Chains A and B, each alone.
Chain A
Amino acid sequence: MINDEDAQDRLIDVLLREELGGEAPPNLAPRILKAAAEKPRIETALGVRVWKARERFTRLKIGIAVAATLALAVLCGLIISHKSSPPAAQTPPDNTVQPRTVATLTGAIQRGAVLTTSTDARTFELGGYCQLKMLPRTELKIQGQEKAEEIRLIRGTVQCEVNKAVGTFVVQSDMGTVSVTGTKFSVRVPESKGGAQMSVKQMFVRVTVGAVLLSGAWGNLALAANDEGGTVVGTVASKSETWLSVKAEGGDEPTLYMPYWRGGVPKDGGGFDKDMLGVIKGVATGSKVKIVWKLEEHPRIVSLEVLSAPEKKVEIASAEREHGGAEDVQRKLAEAQRKHKEAQDKPEKMREGDREKPREVERKEGDREKMREGDRKEAHREEKTGTLVGKVVSRLENAFEVKAENGDSEKFVARWTGGLPADGGGPDKEIVKQIQKLKVGEWVKVEWTQDERKRAVRIHTKRD
């Protein structure tokens, strides 16, 4: 039996994990709706897990029996060969360890070991809480320490499932560091076609469940479930006013990178991020650049760093003359990155929602089923919005209640900005200021969005 004190301790522990540890409740709506749509009699995720565990146990028993038989056969063979032939010279130990299925650091794999896979994928476990699957042609090094497991991905793809309640987990590569703030993700460093031991200067991160933080000298990029992002170092193969085509070092095909889209459809003044367009204008073809990107229909440029100018000095000079020189390019870069951060602080709807049709319209067009079963990312972005007119009936520092003329009352809090609390996120300070100025009995018109609660995006009063 637990007492009040234990229960309260657990309650505060959970809230602190959320407030300080960034363990915000995830948006499970797409996943739940998909499961509800796909399986009328749902085979539960937990059930599947138990079934899988049983299946693994059965396989393990068969495996042990086979291994014991083989070991006996090998032992017999060794005894016979030892009696019939002179001892062979010992081969030097290989520093490359082939991982066994579900091995642990206390077993076959030691820290510092370099693991490789050739044609088959291999699965193993680190520290009892990180399940790693190395896809074929992957090479990695085991680093880190107990409860702070870490790998260095040299080339290939690793899929990770981490129980972050037990410890931390980091994937390092030459292209950046991926720290786990969630549970399931994969990291890929492509192999160069020029040589099996070479890697392309490119990294792809795809998050399946939870969230990860991709970080480097350029800053941080948070990726949530179903997000894909990465980094690339390469040469600008071609460019236009609105995109850069960059060929990764060691890679063969260039990829197109575009700025983020801002402000709705073009007729409403929407268009590519002007600051990033300015930066792109200042980058000459042939320049060596490092780009951090996030996939939103196309790879969108989060940050762009010019590592070196093109080899032809004439081109540098002309580019610098035309666009105000290298200092100007760097100033524009800083400005674009600042604007991007500000844009990330705005709710998803404000950033790009204008391009999407309102939810109710989509329902009328009968597109809802398609949306639910198809694009989980779109569903993730989807929010309810609305407007309520009425009188303020109560007010706290960061929340207020409005009673509409029809008698319905709704509670609103300020909209959230800035990501997770651990990243400095919190209620929008401007909205909080407006809330604090509200008086009980005052007429208000509230524009709101809803996630887990209704959040005020704009508040209009008769004082405005």
Chain B
Amino acid sequence: MTRDELDTLVRMHQAEIYRYVRYLGAESTGVAEDLVQEAFLAAFRSSTLDTPRDEKKQSAWLRGIARNLFLMHCRRARTNPVLANSDALEHAEQVWTKDFLREGDGFDTIEALQKCLGTLGEKQRRMLDLHYAQNKSREEMAGLFDMSEDGIKSVMRRLRAALAQCIRRRMESQ
């Protein structure tokens, strides 16, 4: 692989691979960035092998590299015991291709999520904003909504499940 080809490969796929390693469980943005860099450099180093020409195949190839790197990272750092086995990661890959990529580049899923966020009620939207935009802890949110921390955890999980369902409905109706 030439540097020009690496340049193109990075620009085409870096966003997806970054999202992917965060989804696999990279515990911070810094670790995710390191893993993405490692994945592309590993791809660059394996230039004796044939780099797939098809975009989707390139994406799957890079995800495979990223998965292995993430697995090694988990074992080295002794974190994420749930995910630190190849079966769990293969399963995560299946969900990624089925529920995020949906035979495309995942952008339709992001668009569907944006629309689904617009359909949420005021309280639900506020809870999401507090958690994701303002980084409020469960404890702080529990105080604000007069709920227990476990209650907040359940509500947030239900909200995400509702959004996943809304995305699925939208995608199926297209």
Residues of A participating in the B interface, judged by any CB pair closer than 8 Å: 1-2, 4-5, 7-23, 25-29, 31-33, 35-37, 42, 44-46, 49-50, 147, 161, 163-168, 182-184, 209-210, 372, 384, 396-399, 411, 413, 422, 426, 450-453
Contact = CB atoms under 8 A, between A and B. Distances in A.
B33 interface: yes
Nearest to A5: B161
25 contacts: A2-B91, A5-B161, A7-B91, A12-B163, A14-B23, A16-B128, A19-B114, A20-B117, A20-B133, A22-B133, A26-B18, A31-B37, A32-B14, A33-B10, A36-B6, A42-B45, A166-B28, A167-B135, A183-B30, A183-B33, A184-B30, A396-B108, A451-B11, A452-B15, A452-B16
Contacts of B95: 4, 7-8, 11
Contacts of B30: 161, 163, 183-184, 209
Given A13-B160, A183-B29, A46 B34 contact: yes
B64 interface: no
A22 B135 CA distance: 11
Interface of B: 3, 6-7, 10-12, 14-16, 18-19, 22-23, 25, 27-30, 33-38, 40-41, 44-45, 69, 73, 76, 82-83, 87-88, 91-92, 95-96, 99-100, 105, 107-111, 113-114, 117, 128-129, 132-133, 135, 137, 157, 160-161, 163-164, 167, 174
Contact of B41 (A4, A22, A35, A166): A35
Given A19-B110, A20-B128, A21-B133, A1 B3 contact: no
B34 A49 contact: yes
A10 B15 contact: no
B107 A29 contact: no
A143 B117 CA distance: 35
Instruction: Summarize A's interface: helix, strand, loop or mixed.
Output: mixed
A42 B34 CA distance: 13
B136 to A, nearest CB: 9
A13 B153 CA distance: 13
B24 to A, nearest CB: 8
B63 to A, nearest CB: 14
A342 B16 CA distance: 29
Interface secondary structure of B, over-half rule: helix
A31 B30 CA distance: 13
A371 to B, nearest CB: 11
Contacts of B99: 7-8, 11
A442 B128 CA distance: 41
A18 B19 contact: yes
B6 A21 contact: no
Contacts of B7: 29, 33
A26 B31 CA distance: 13
Contacts of A32: 6, 10, 14, 36-37, 40-41
A423 to B, nearest CB: 10
A398 B11 CA distance: 22
B38 A44 contact: yes
B105 A17 contact: no
Contacts of B37: 28, 31-32, 35, 45
Contacts of B133: 20-22, 422
A399 B38 contact: no
Nearest to A163: B28
A23 B29 contact: yes
Of A10, A23, A161, A398, the most chain B CB neighbours within 10 A belong to: A10
Task: Identify the 8 closest CB pairs spanning chains A and B, nearest first.
Answer: A20-B132, A7-B95, A452-B15, A25-B15, A25-B18, A12-B160, A21-B132, A163-B28
Of B16, B29, B37, which is in contact with the most chain A CB atoms at under 10 Å from its CB? B29
Contacts of B129: 20
A182 B33 CA distance: 11
Given A164-B29, A167-B135, A183-B29, A1 B15 contact: no
Contacts of B23: 10-11, 14
Contacts of A13: 160
B13 to A, nearest CB: 8
Nearest to A31: B37
A2 B157 CA distance: 15
A1 B14 contact: no
Contact of A46 (B6, B25, B73): B73
A413 B118 CA distance: 20
A452 B92 contact: no
Contacts of B107: 399, 413, 453
Contacts of A23: 22, 29
A401 to B, nearest CB: 11
A164 B82 contact: no
A4 B25 CA distance: 15
Given A15-B109, A452-B16, A36 B11 contact: no
A11 B44 CA distance: 28
B55 to A, nearest CB: 11
Contact of A8 (B3, B28, B161): B161
Nearest to A372: B3
